[in-house]
Structure 1
């Protein structure tokens, strides 16, 4: 039997950060997924978590756990697939360090991901976006901070983690006309900022507390703003913005919706999906094609490029083919 604890500790604390260069968000997500799995397994097997052996993580146990988080924790299939990806990554790590687990690893890798729906993305109209950007109270320091966060998140199409991870050194000094972003997969990009975005950012920096933390956006304790903190501030301003844009009440506005809105407005302005991919920091243009399904202008341009085809109805009568003849004979027999 193979003890789980030492291998899992080395995987999370050494292999992922040192050998794979995984981000803190990835490590946190993987660690939380294993925490849920180990607690589930301990209850099922009636053992202490520290006594669990790797061989006890059978495909049946993992499948039961995945069903458990969907039914009892009401997780979506996308979350289920993310947990399964973490488990597969760990067993891939074990293949070279615990050969006795090789057969079990192959069985875990055979567990299929669940097919997920690909709904149309949510985004804001220009009127809704402007109402949201104007919602923070500019008479307070927190209002200036929130206004700057909203402007930068939209203008640069940032993920919540990218926004909260910005540091003072990431600003293009002295004009502050660019920002340096480290995105998903450690991909770096430098993005220019509009004049309006530069202005609201400078307004915040003038009142930003001069504390030791080098994060651009700070919370009330003077620490770096968290992703949940930004989402909370966004939700509060969405409620305020509903007064001038009532349609916001029918939308679920998350930080990622600002990123989607930036992408669609960029696609509308440039008409080039490759530029949108570069702006958002996508590793593949396939990730950006979701915006083509939403933008009606792209579909109208396709319709305008040609006329409806004049197709005549065809028939298979009189067609002689050896394969079809054999199949017809087989049916008679």
Structure 2
């Protein structure tokens, strides 16, 4: 490390003082930012032909950041969303540096000016009710592991929880007496309350009878009593989906992840006529625009709306745009 290099001290202060203490960021945010900086520093060091310990703050220039983002998207084959998340972590650090060390304001401004990349918005891939049932039927509930998987997937569908929200679930967050509900802590540590079906509560009770947990201990654990990881859940789910697809053929063309159950919850609530603002609160969305995305996804809901409107009555009168030839000729000139 070069003498007078502020990069190590600034990174330490950013993670320990700014993110953890002042911003009170969640452990998941801190780990995500940490992973970004690990990748960025290794990338820049390789391009500079030196070790990470020899990098200075000025080495992490806007040009290097743009090159890193290009490598993230095209070299590592990640999504635009992941690319933007990496940029958000980098921007946050340089915004912190600009406040703490104004002498680097020019470099910080250049990095902060690197734009986010827009990505095409597609309708979320969601599961139909019969597809959910087919997947839930796959775990062998006679075993503790199969029961755990069945309860976890049932809870995801009931609550619309993000996978990490479900894996962080402790028994003290659940009300087992009517009215049944669960307290979830989402992004930004925002708390929300979701109702639970009696069937879901019964499943949770049976799991806890076979594998008791203290009020502050996580419910979903592995055979060693350690909390499950999201990657392990994805692996098990893919096996269940593969098995379910043999009898439910529509699953063969779908890429199902734990988040697919959240999509299914949202779309099925829309189809049931639940108010969109209630669904927003249910899912913990910051913006109503995010929730409205699900309102456009359900084809059955669209079909019913179209049936209510009805087809237009037949008419021999041509539409006005066909009657006005001069207007059409003028439009042709544009």
For normalisation by structure 1, the TM-score amounts to 0.89
- Residue 312 to residue 271, structure 1, CA distance change in 2 (3 Å): farther
Aligned partner of residue 189 in structure 1, secondary structure: strand
Give the corresponding residue for 2:168.
165
Q: Is the CA contact 1:211–1:222 (under 8 Å) kept in the aligned structure 2?
A: no
Aligned partner of residue 121 in structure 1, secondary structure: coil
Q: Is the CA contact 2:172–2:215 (under 8 Å) kept in the aligned structure 1?
A: no
Q: Is the CA contact 1:2–1:55 (under 8 Å) kept in the aligned structure 2?
A: no
Gaps of 5+ in 1: 320-333
What's the CA shift for 1:86? 0.8
- Residue 262 to residue 91, structure 1, CA distance change in 2 (3 Å): same
Q: Is the CA contact 1:155–1:193 (under 8 Å) kept in the aligned structure 2?
A: yes
Deviations 1:160-200 (A, max 9, x none): 11000111211114568211101112111111111221121
Give the corresponding residue for 1:239.
242
- Residue 275 to residue 302, structure 1, CA distance change in 2 (3 Å): farther
Residues in 2 aligned to 1:36 and 1:308: alpha-carbon distance in whole angstroms: 58
Aligned partner of residue 113 in structure 1, secondary structure: coil
Residues in 2 aligned to 1:144 and 1:59: alpha-carbon distance in whole angstroms: 51
Aligned partner of residue 184 in structure 2, secondary structure: strand
- Residue 6 to residue 111, structure 1, CA distance change in 2 (3 Å): same
Give the corresponding residue for 2:63.
60
Give the corresponding residue for 2:8.
5
Residues in 2 aligned to 1:213 and 1:244: alpha-carbon distance in whole angstroms: 40
Give the corresponding residue for 1:129.
132
40-49 vs 91-100, greater mean Cα deviation = 40-49
136-145 vs 209-218, greater mean Cα deviation = 209-218
Gaps of 5+ in 2: none
Deviations 1:97-143 (A, max 9, x none): 11111111111111111121112211111111101111111111111
CA RMSD after TM alignment: 2.3
Deviations 1:282-321 (A, max 9, x none): 111011111122123443426744876985226569x9xx
Residues in 2 aligned to 1:44 and 1:121: alpha-carbon distance in whole angstroms: 38
- Residue 18 to residue 63, structure 1, CA distance change in 2 (3 Å): same
Matches within 5 A, 1:143-222: 143-174=146-177, 177-210=180-213, 214-222=217-225
